[in-house]
Structure 1
Amino acid sequence: MNKSEHSSNRRRFLKNLGAVGTLGSVLPPAVLAAQPTLQSPSAEKGHVFLSEPYLQQPAPDSMTVMWIANLPSYSWVEYGETSALGTKAHRSTDGIIDAYNRINQIKLNHLKPATKYYYRVFSKEIAEFKPYKLTYGNTIESDTYSFTTPAVSPQAVRCLIMNDVHDRPETITHLLSLKGNDPVDFVFFNGDMFDYQTDEQQIIDHMLAPCSAGFAREIPFMFVRGNHETRGKYRSELQHYFGNPQGRQYFSYTWGPVHFTVIDTGEDKPDAEPVYAGIVDFDGYRAEQARWVDQVMQSKEFKKATYRVVLMHIPTFYHNGWHGPTHCQQLFTPLFNKHKVDLCISGHTHKYGVHEPVAGQHAYPIVIGGGSKDGSRTLIKLKADAKRLNLSMLRDDGQEVGAYQIAAKR
Structure 2
Amino acid sequence: MQDKQALDRRSFLGAIAKAGIAGSISLSPLAAAAATVKATKPAEPAPYAFACPPYLQNPEPTAVTIMWMSNRPSYSWVEHGETAALGSVAHHAEGGIVDSYNSLHRVRLEGLKPDTTYHYVVKSKEIAEFQPYKLTYGETITSEVFSFKTPALKPKEVSWLVMNDIHDRPKSIPHLVGLNKDPYDFVFFNGDIFDYQVDEQQVIDHLLLPAGQAFASQKPFIFTRGNHETRGKYRRELGNYFDGPYYFAKTWGPVHFTVIDTGEDKEDTHPVYAGIVNFDQYRQQQAQWFAQVAQTPAFKKAAFRVVMMHIPHYYSGDWHGTMDCRRLFAPLFEKHKVDLSISGHTHRYGIHQPVAGQHAYPIVIGGGPKEGFRTIMRVKATEKDLNLVMLKDDGTEVGRVDLKSKR
Q: Same fold (TM over 0.5)?
A: yes
1:370 aligned residue: 367
CA distance in structure 1 between the partners assigned to 2:308 and 2:261 by the alignment: 9
> 1:87 offset after TM fit, Å?
0.4
Residues 37-76 of structure 1: pairs in structure 2 closer than 5 A: 44-76=45-77
> In the alignment, residue 74 of structure 1 is paired with which amino acid?
Y
- 2:221 maps to which residue? 221
Q: How does 1:185-224 map to 2 (within 5 A)?
A: 185-224=185-224
Preserved contact between residue 154 and residue 256 of structure 1 (Cα < 8 Å)? yes
- CA 1:18–1:204: 2 relative to 1, 3 Å: farther
Which residue is equivalent to 1:262?
A: 259
SS of the residue corresponding to residue 51 of structure 2 reads: coil
Indicate conservation of the 8 Å contact 1:17/1:49, yes or no.
no
Distance, in Å, in 2 between the alignment partners of 1:296 and 1:271 is: 27
Q: Distance in 2 between matches of 1:169 and 1:221?
A: 15
Amino acid at match of 2:282: Y
| Cα contact 1:266–1:286 (8 A) shared by 2 | yes
Counterpart residue type for residue 120 of structure 2: Y
Rate the CA distance shift 1:386–1:359 in 2: closer, same or farther, 3 A. same
Question: How many angstroms does 1:48 deviate by?
Answer: 1.1
Cα deviation code 1:290-337 (max 9, x no counterpart): 111111111111111000000000001011211111101101111111
Is 1:394 aligned with 2:391? yes
Counterpart contact for 1:165–1:372, Cα < 8 Å = yes
Pair 1:300-2:297 in alignment = yes
State the distance in 1 between where 2:129 and 2:75 align: 12
Give secondary structure in 1 for the equivalent of 2:406: coil
The AA in structure 2 aligned to 1:313 is H
Q: Deviations over 1:373-406 (max 9, x none)?
A: 1111111110010120001111112111111111
Within 5 Å, give how 1:242-321 maps onto structure 2. Answer: 242-244=242-244, 248-321=245-318
User: Shift of the alpha carbon at 1:19?
Assistant: 5.2
Kindly indicate whether the alpha-carbon contact (under 8 Å) linking 1:20 and 1:50 is maintained by their aligned counterparts in 2: no
Measured in 2, the distance between the counterparts of 1:312 and 1:12 equals 36
Counterparts of residues 3-402 of structure 1 (less than 5 Å):
7-10=3-6, 15=11, 44-180=45-181, 182-244=182-244, 248-402=245-399
Question: Alignment partner of 2:53: what SS?
Answer: coil
In angstroms, what is the RMSD of aligned CA positions?
1.8
1:235 is paired with a residue whose SS is coil
Does structure 1 retain, via aligned residues, the 8 Å contact 2:72–2:102?
yes
Identity over aligned pairs, percent: 60
Alignment-mate amino acid for residue 333 of structure 2: F
- Structure 1 residues 44, 12: CA separation in 2 closer, same or farther (over 3 Å shift)? farther
Shift of 1:8: 3.3
Displacement of 1:356 in angstroms is 1.3
Deviation for aligned residue 1:11: 7.1
1 CA distance for matches of 2:130 and 2:362?
56
Describe the SS at the equivalent of 1:173: helix
Instruction: Report the Cα offset of residue 16 of structure 1.
Output: 5.1
Q: Does residue 402 of structure 2 align to residue 405 of structure 1?
A: yes
Moved more, 168-177 or 146-155: 168-177
What residue ranges of structure 2 are gaps of 5+ in the alignment? 20-42
Distance across 2 between alignment mates of 1:406 and 1:10? 46
Letter in 2 for 1:379: I
Q: d(CA) in 1 for partners of 2:61 and 2:371?
A: 38
C-alpha distance in structure 1 between counterparts of 2:164 and 2:99, whole Å: 33
Change (3 A) 1:383 1:12: closer
Deviation at 1:177, TM superposition (A): 1.8
Assess, with a 3 A threshold, how the Cα gap between structure 1 residues 407 and 8 changes in structure 2: closer, same or farther.
closer
Deviation at 1:46, TM superposition (A): 3.0
Which position in structure 2 is the counterpart of 1:25?
none
For 1:232 and 1:372, how far apart are their aligned partners in 2? Answer: 19
Q: Check the 8 A contact 2:3/2:143 in 1, yes or no.
A: no
TM-score by length of 2: 0.91
Question: In the superposition, relative to structure 1, how do residues 185 and 100 fare at CA in structure 2: closer, same or farther (>3 Å)?
Answer: same
SS of aligned partner of 1:290: helix
- Taking the aligned partners of 2:254 and 2:14, their CA distance within structure 1 comes to 41
Letter in 1 for 2:95: D
Query: Taking structure 1 as reference, are residues 355 and 345 closer, same or farther at Cα in structure 2, changes over 3 Å only?
Result: same
User: Quick one: which amino acid aligns to residue 166 of structure 1?
Assistant: H
Equivalent residues of 2:7, 2:143 under 8 A apart: no
**CA–CA distance in 1 between the matches of 2:269 and 2:4?**
56
Larger Rg: 2
The number of residue pairs the alignment matches comes to 383
Structure 1 residue 10, shift from structure 2 partner: 3.2
User: Which whole-Å deviations, capped at 9, do the CAs of 1:338-379 have from their partners, x for residues lacking one?
Assistant: 111000000001111111111211122111111211111111
TM-score (norm 1): 0.90
